[in-house]
Structure 1
């Protein structure tokens, strides 16, 4: 829960700034940056685990919760930025121009005018990052060795699924408990998540 919430919150923060800049500031670097974000999604996660492990080893953040959060953040942020950029692009520029005329600055416009208009999209980004982190297995299994730092899926696999014996009663019980947060998340926020994803799907 700690890792999933941290990644979700940080993804939202990065997506707001980067998504807004992509949607509003049209420079020659935008297309290159957008292309890099798309390219980063084309490679499977396992293809970059060796280099990621080596980099994190040199930084001394292997087997730490912070290191796992940063690794998952790097995986989730590109798609979150692309998604938020589509939401910001759907906000009419006239609203911002009117705020400029009234004396509002760029920061105030972003946080008090534009961001509230895309809150459904921001919620969709947060839920997406939370679910992807909650379901992650490869990063947690590779980067975490301490039993007390393992996430739920890895903890179940390594503690209750042995090489020669399986405690299926405990595995089933803990797996059901592990699905409860996800079920509650969909139960309370599925309407806003679907609304947000659909709102960002079509421009104009």
Structure 2
């Protein structure tokens, strides 16, 4: 994937629920977010409107592979490794509001996980979203602030790939040479039962 899953879900939810980029700015000039990635040091609960955060709750890796390949740059071979990771993530989307919007609209987020735009984004970025999600009513956790809060959790399958140039055996500073050569850097070692001789 060449885009963070959280950013994909922000795009999906914003377009599916027809939400603006933000709800304007408060008296201190701080942006009032509409939908954002979780833990971005952005103030919440500063509007009556719907606010949504997206984050990864956990990640379970089920494939971790490395392969090697050559790229020719101006006729010179360069050696690379490609690290590939497949994981199953538990995503969490929290829906807040001081009014009734969170209670009235949280189901729309569940529904958009399987809409046409979702399928298009899954095909574009080659990942998969579970059609089944669980929702928890966490409104009471905010105490006297009286915030409506619903937490939606679901699985998605993601993958990541990274290419890095690496040294190859022919580029190492030391090379293995015949032990009998005059310029050999290695000694000829013969191992015998219970004895070791070297020359």
More helix by share: 1
Rg comparison, structure with higher value: 2
* Higher RCO, Cα 8 Å, sep 6+: 1
User: When the two structures are superposed, what TM-score results if normalisation uses the length of structure 1?
Assistant: 0.23
User: When the two structures are superposed, what TM-score results if normalisation uses the length of structure 2?
Assistant: 0.23
